[in-house]
Chains A and B, each alone.
Chain A
Amino acid sequence: MADLHVKIGDLTLKNPIIPASGVFGYGREYEKYYPLSLLGGIATKGTTGAKRTGNISPRIAETPCGMLNSVGLQNPGIDAFIANELPHLLSCDTVILANIAGATAEECAEVAKKLDSTDVHMIELNISCPNVKQGGAAFGTSCTAAAQVTKAVREATKKPLCVKLSPNVTSITEIAKAVVDAGADAVSLINTLLGMRIDLRTRRPVLHNNMGGLSGAAVFPVAVRMVWQVANAVSVPVIGMGGVMNGEDAAELMMAGASAVEVGTAIVQDPFAPLRIIDGLNQWLDDNGVANAADLTGTVKPW
């Protein structure tokens, strides 16, 4: 059995596997299946200043080896999260990454400030949601805006701050450098790739929001590439995600430069996916004589 512990800055995770924001709610649906303490951490559902009802259905569609979604940040708002969900999550003996979003830098800062007085372990600032009209991806696609919102949140909280990056940009390394310069302690990537499908029969887009975020196995090579580029461009830890479906994918993303790995679409398919991926990674490490998972990070030998 390899030692699965990894570090993201000063935070220690018992293993590198974290359910990604959006697929795992606030954990309640999954603890009926297994103890959340088995997970390296949990990135909670993206939470905004006020309650959001989300987009009209259909919000999901299958694509070859992947899916498109457009939920539109449905969430009960930060006050309800702190009152009703966070205390329980913090009792689950795992690292909690509170994913936050907002329409403006001020809203993001206000949400972060409210979390600052809680015991949450890390804030994951979402500057890359493709499914809301304001904020979201608008922050994530310009270095200036990304730096501005990061700075506002940085000033509002002393919590470790991870900024979740959009892949829908010309140069993800420039955005990563901008948010690190503005005070991010870590970056996580990739959020979904903006996509669209059309029903030929009805000539309607398959999602009511017309466009949505592409995820799943189909995007994994993009994630590996971007994690590798960003890990080489910044000195802070990188949390990798994007189409990780099994333990070998997790190992590959760590080799590319990730210190920990978030898992999204695989959980939509199989609630037990995080456990299967932890086991698969453990097995791979054992089979390859790697004693510590943390030693895998960034060990790719590029040509």
Chain B
Amino acid sequence: MTQKYRLDKGGFIKRDKKISFKFNGKKYFGYEGDTLASALLANGVHLVGRSFKYHRPRGFIAAGVDEPNAKVQLYHGAKTEPNAVATEVELVEGLIAKSQNCFPSVSFDFGEINNFLSKFFPAGFYYKTFMWPKNFWYKIYEPIIRKAAGLGVAPLKPDPDRYEHKFEYCDVLVVGSGPSGLASALAAAKNGARVIIAEDKSRFGGSLLTDEVTVGNKKGKDWADETIEQLKIMPNVVVKNRSQVFGYYDHNMMVMFERTKDHLEFPNKYTPRQRLWYIRAKEVVASTGSMERPLVFGNNDRPGIMLSSAAKEYLRVYGVLVGKKPIIFTNNDSAYETAIDFKKNGINPIVIDIRENSESSVIKEAKNLKIDIRFSHAIANTRGHLRVNSATIGKLNEQKTNYQSLEDISCDCICVSGNWTPTVHLASQSGNKLKFDENINAFIPNQSRQNETTVGSAKGSFTLKKSLEEGFNKGFELSNKITKKNIKSAIPTSNERSNGKQNKFWCMPLPKNKNYKRCVDFQNDVYVSDIELAIREGFRSIEHVKRYTTLGMATDQGKTSNLNGLQLVSSIEKKIVPEVGHTTFRPPYTPVTIGAIVGREVGKYYRPTRKSPIHAWHEKNNAVFVDAGLWLRPRYYNQGNETLHEASKREAFNVRNNVGICDVTSLGKIDIKGSDSAEFLNRVYTNAWMKLPVGKARYGVMLREDGIVFDDGTTTRISENHFHMTTTTAQAVNVLAHLEYYLQVVWPELNVNVLSTTEQWAGAAVAGPNSRSLLEKLFPDTDVSNEGLPFMGFKEADLFGVPARIFRISFSGELAYEINVESGYGIFMWEKIMEIGKEMGIEPYGTEALSTLRIEMGHVAGSEIDGRTISSDLSLDGMLSKKKDFIGKRSLNRKAFIETGREKIVGVVPLDKKTMIPEGSHIVVDNKASLPNPKLGHISASCWSVEYNNPFSLAILKDGKQRIGEKLYALSPLKSKSIPVEIVSSHYVDPTGERVRS
């Protein structure tokens, strides 16, 4: 295929590098440097998609991020990308793209029936239509709407690409590399500031690429190229293209989306696909330019109708004619440049100008070129199904309410210009309350709330001279605040065409008795009639009109449509635009891939993994791991074809009968030192700590100030002013922050220091009746007898030359010890214990067996300390000191805490002694009662008691111990279970605690 609409020369594409690509299954050619849009237009393809609601044929409107129509699906399979904007997709060999929202094809789309039925689908039709019958919603309406809604198709497979995050700091971030951006960056950089300049497109220069101007006696583009080269070699400047700064967040945190890979034919294997930059900039210069607004007229959304600036960009940057019989339709002078460019390339355009006359230099130039100009005229309607082929034009009457005469002229494209809208998104996101500028009929930034400065056409300065001045001045001013070097750059001279005044008229009247659709929002299919309807139905606030009609929503966020919508509302409501106000601009400015937002935090990098120093041994011995916060802990050690249930039963049974070993490294450990340490513990824990002897451990419970139990654990007095605290694995981090808060904020007078030592110690719990004889062999020089090391005793000892700490504490309820050594010796300790314990039948046990052991002992853990229970609910009232005050004590006489009928801990056994009770089951009196069945409590933890060889659960039950002996039901609607149960004591095994003291 030849590129019939490509000029023989011109543009900045590389004509020696031909590129093939596929669109809707058909092969085309373009050149390196093309976008998908410019390459398609070079091949004469305008029809790219179907509109969202009515499936009307649509073509390209813009040449950049403002494009509302040309959303395409790229590639397929895991790499597929929906809603890619064809004007932003760079052409690369083998690119595959297809149209979205059409079936079976873009030129023949069944969905177009909606267009013929459109009077049944006005704005808000789905709010009114699908109300009844109620049961139709799930089965009929919703599936149909779901199928019809949306644009592209999301990939169903994991993203194969890699994405990166980057954090950067700079003095001045310049967003946009048009004349004002380049000027700001150059001035700031020369003044010694650290500068980042970001350009969304692949080429730098912005309007300098397309405008017939000179800067410093050079062509605009040459000056831009030279300036960029100059910036690139400066060590204090980062120059980035293909980088969209899409968000302005608090304290000048800017987020930028860089496309690093998709445009490369042979990317390096280590290149990420995209990169998200978090840039903390001291000053931000928004030189984001402006966007042309469309004019609104009958059937203004046909393929071939586009912005005049886009036509000029396709011609000047890509050497592409968007048509050979163009009509230029405008209310201002800027469109004449497009007409002149057409003319200079041998194409005769017709200019339709709403204004009565204009005498600026650009119009004189057009007249000299003998361009056909029709003043006081407008386009009333267009024709052409898949591509515009004619326009109905007419002379406007004086009030511009109707046409004096109408005639059809044939065309193959219409280039429209409704003047320019400053791109104020970043300023608005920064908190800048915009103001309406009557002269340009658009909003511009007002007072900056952060260190944001908008320059150039983004603040309505539409001449090159002014843009350059603002850029150089602001670049110097802002950088000088930081560097104070006073190096001022000279502002180069510039030459440009002068433009006359625009006419604000933008929405063409309908000829009498005609009801043509006039499109305001192309992406969302919002027409003039929809906005009129919304106002007729009583929607007044622009935010409500937006949501009712969907004006300005979806992926383009109304870049081309917002202001026209506002103007329409204000003209219907007879208000001025600033009174109507504008909808809020929110980040992201352009769509950002989820991959870039997530970055490297996928799979196992989603969050850090904490492993004990003994982890490798567990792996080698068939441990099955479970997440415990960030920690990976062995859940059980698999032998043969065991199930989890069988393995944990075996392991727990071995602890009760021989000896087991469990890795308890993940328990939180906090080192507490200082002369007031005992006093501090006395305030933090509910029980007494002042008289704890050196070499002794004590169990403690901490409350929150509201009286709820916060955490529990043992703390050991290593020496007079030195304690070793343990916390649960889950709360380790929170307990440390809690202690720090009280020490720094509440009681700074206490002389205490706390430090997390969780990772400094490797811990092993050795539990079971054989544990003492094992310790005797592990520590032959240390007296570990019941007298030498009694329950809750502590000793420092020597483990074959390694210093160790022995704590005689027990979570399993058996005679047990916890041995700590420095982390680096963890594996040595573990293997030594396994080796020596072999003859006593030692076996490792995981968290599942650990749970079994603690549940049947009635020891509480996280499932009982659930943020709702107080000490007495957990039978820990004995731990509450009456003699001293402590954190949370004052809350304990709250009415709700002293009332009878609180839910308290009990044990639960199924009557059949066989059925495991699902955790979370509700306990009720009557299993057949009508719903809602009054709930007495819930099952907090369940296990298979190895002591009694039947299921046993803990429950938090209303009136708790008073119900011991009662027969109730445990109901689990989730598992469809109704289990008759008996309430028993929560201390199911060894209620007097003989074993731990034996």
Partners in one complex: no
Interface residues of A, Cβ cutoff 8 Å to B: none
Interface residues of B, Cβ cutoff 8 Å to A: none
